[in-house]
Amino acid sequence: MPLPRLTVLSACLLSGCVATAPAPRTAPAAKNEPSTLREVLARELTEPLPRKPVEAEGVLFRGTVLAAGTPEVVKHPNGSTLLTLPIGTSVPVTCLFYPQPIDAGAAARSLLESILDEFTLQQVRATEVKSLAGSPALYLEGDFTRGTGSTAQAGRVKMMVHADPVLPKACFHDELGYARSFLDVTEAIATGLTSTAPEQPVAPYYSDVQVMRVGGVAFGFQYTALFGSKMGGSILEVSTTMVRPGTPAQFQFLDTNTTEHADTEGVLVSKSYTKRVNDTVAANVRLRREQDESYNVEGQMAGKDVQARLGGELIGEVGLAARLREGLLKGQGNALEAMLWVPPADASAPTRVVVRPRAGAGTRAATMELGAVSVSVELDAHGFPQRMELPAGSATVVQERLSQAGEP
């Protein structure tokens, strides 16, 4: 909670613990306050913020941040930490640091419910996805009102949820304007603070961050990490978060997590898939290779029990990339066909995947067919997709790599 690639799982998805935080408020009037809403929303800090040190006893991070005054750090009994940064505006930037890895959508929803408890939320939307310290940061805005009728006040909370496996955090600023300033401050937090925890999570030997956009507007991300397995082969972990914007009755946070163990030949040993929509677990299913080389599947999808026995060889996504690298990318053959297990497509049966070169679009351009879904992909030198396009009604969904670290 990143290979240079777009997973088959994400293609199928696209087609088919917080502490109590201070409540937000609408910004009070100040001297020389802009006279129009457009001017208010355009406000930014005019002077660079200085670097301030952050270090406190019992807090498992330290470093420097951008702040106009002394940062305040408060550790909560549940292990989370609250960091408050004055930035020279009426309201400070506040950040929650979590003791455990987070799902970005669930964290964003919990934070919104906490800080907007006494307000009426009007609309939520994602505004940007960034790769900070090699992990995904999702930026959102929530519009809210306080009061009714002629006395109603409008406000906007800006949020950043950084799903970093080492130092997960969520920050917010509930004052109109200062959008660019909030980006600068939160980027400095993500890159300027490091964990001092005595036990650090195992680092992947390869990782990547990808952004999902429609019409140039970000709505989600994918983070992928590749580890070596003590049993041989590889462990691939993929997490995605997508935001459907809209009013409280319409918007959704969708979190998915996949863990895939493949042997040294890229053949699946085991795989798990979970999906949560807002507060509801919509899928939790697992696959395991048995001694007779068949696969056992069990779990739940869309509220229904799933149990199946699958025969034949199923490869993982690392195995698919290896076959592409040694085949199509070397000009061998006109198509690659393989059987994968893609739960969003069908948890009780294998999914046939066919990859073909896309004529006239470059040596690494290909078309990937997942059952009835056709996706345009651009492969990298390792055989992993680094960009993907697929139709979604009248729009086109684009997923592409933002950053990568290490070598596969």
Please tell me the least confidently modeled range out of 12-26, 28-42, 84-98: 12-26
- Tens of pLDDT along 62-108? 999 999 999 999 999 888 999 999 999 999 999 999 999 999 999 99
Name every residue whose Cβ is closer than 8 Å to that of residue 167 and which is 6 or more positions away in sequence.
61, 97, 133, 193, 194, 195
State whether CATH 1.10.357 applies to domain 37-97+102-164+166-195: no
- What is the structure's pLDDT at 362? 79
- What's the pTM value of the predicted model, to 2 decimals? 0.89
Task: Kindly give the pairing relationship between strand 268-277 and strand 336-340.
Answer: unpaired
Where residue 392 falls among pLDDT bands split at 50, 70, 90?
A: confident
pLDDT tens digits, residue range 185-212? 999 999 999 999 989 999 999 999 999 9
CB 244 within 8 A of CB 238: no
Comparing 114-128, 277-291, 301-315, which segment has the lowest mean pLDDT?
114-128
Distance CA 206, CA 259 (A): 15
Q: Residue 314: what pLDDT?
A: 97
Mean pLDDT across the chain, nearest whole number?
Answer: 89
pLDDT score recorded for residue 407: 85
pLDDT at res. 33: 65
Ordered by start, the domain boundaries in the chain are 8-15+203-406, 37-97+102-164+166-195
Mean pLDDT for the stretch of residues 142-165:
89
Q: What is the pLDDT of residues 371-386, one digit of tens each?
A: 888 999 999 999 999 9
CA–CA distances in Å: residue 76 to residues 58, 80, 350: 11, 5, 47
Return the top range by mean pLDDT from 143-147, 152-156, 159-163, 362-366. Answer: 159-163
